[in-house]
Amino acid sequence: MLQGNAIIGQSGGPTSVINASLAGIIEAARGQAPIGRTLGMRFGIEGFMRGEVLDLGEENPATIAALRTTPSSALGSCRHKLKEADFPKILEVLRNFNIRYFFLIGGNDTMDTIHRVEAYCHTQGYDLIGVGVPKTVDNDLCGTDHTPGFGSAGRYVALSVKQAGMLARDMKRVDQFVVFQTVGRSSGWLPAAAALAKVNEDDAPHIILLPERAFDQDRFLADVKRYYDRFGWCSIVCGEGVCYADGMPISASRVTDKFSNVEFGAMGGTSAAMMLHRMIHAAFGWRGEFQVCESLQMCASDRVHSEDAEEAYACGRRAVELALAGTSGVMVSIIRDSNDPYHWSLGTTPLAEVALGAKPMPNNFINDEGNFVTPECMAYLKPLIGSLPEYVRLTAGLLI
């Protein structure tokens, strides 16, 4: 069994439960004889290469325990794509701190980082055990049923769309539509979660646009008009990465002015939701809203799903168990043992497989029209998002 110190890093965008995984690693490593000190990377692998390392053993145990309900990335994060020139520096810092256990919490690129660092150390004769802990609100990691962080972000989306939809319904004499944008560049898991907000036929959302399906403006506008004609308003949810058939993002404007000139406002940072808003207003002249909450989906601790937090913590603890057993080059994965009642267990997936690319939504989760999800998708999502509050509406008839 390797004797040395452990290092933990967080990479990419946070989730509202990523610190629960951090707490799981720290608490599982505490008191383990092969592990001397448990250290933390300040601002991920980028800070690590500058020697920015924290001694997490100095933290009060109560503070570590409180990480389980603390949002954002407590260690600080980065988005650094490793270059060949980085590896000698990484090995130098590993040697300086006698690090033999290497844990990173993150997504595809993070797993690629562990995989490449471990492989490089092997070529240099330096023994290192590397284990990854999954994290992403996008839910697009291969090799796991779902990722810690997705359930809480999906809950944030579903609650936001549900409540904003009620507002839009009651304000339809003023604003005739609302567009809500989620994060997620290449997969539609997060916008799909909005479907759980829908109980009645006229409830939000009416249309869900997913990156897995090419955007057709004429078909989209026809769908919007159809729902407006039925209900007097329309709710649209879109993923930020929705594209036209030729691969151009809808956030790169194809809307034209009255002189048929293309508006290139998107090149300055226009969102997909804003472009959809412009399309609808240009086609029908209606008032409406677009809502882009960006990173709030990643760090809203008030909307955490308890099952999500429990899974995140368990993944952190399992990473240490695997490392102490000599298992390296893997990511902890979540296995769905049953859906109703929901039950899960933990497994592993080779890091090389996780780093291959993003996991899209399967075809049977998307309806034939490509503008909503199927019952199969909603059954998959429901235990991850949890129960949503039930709201009432007035049913009294008008006096005649």
> Before 211, cis peptide (omega within 30)?
no
Residues 6+ apart with CB under 8 A from 128: 94, 99, 100, 101, 102, 117, 118, 121, 122, 328
H or E element in which residue 130 lies: strand 129-134
Q: Which two tokens stand for residue 312?
A: 């995140």
Place of tokens 């290092």: 7
| DSSP state at residue 396 | P
Q: Is the peptide bond before 205 cis (omega within 30 degrees of 0)?
A: yes
The position carrying tokens 């049923």 is 145
- Whether 64 and 27 have beta carbons less than 8 Å apart is answered as yes
Instruction: Show the tokens assigned to 3.
Output: 């004797």
What whole-number distance in Å separates Cα of residue 208 and Cα of residue 268?
25
The Cα–Cα gap between 263 and 287 comes to 19
Residues designated as active site: 138
Which segments of the chain does DSSP mark as H helices, in order?
Answer: 18-29, 44-49, 61-66, 86-96, 108-123, 150-170, 189-193, 217-231, 272-284, 296-299, 306-324, 351-354, 375-385
The terminus-to-terminus CA distance of the chain in angstroms comes to 83
Residue 105: both structure tokens together: 């919490």
Cα 192 to Cα 208: distance, rounded to the nearest angstrom: 7
Backbone angles phi, psi at 368, to 5 degrees: -60, -30
In this structure, what are the phi and psi dihedrals at residue 86, rounded to the nearest 5 degrees?
-80, -30
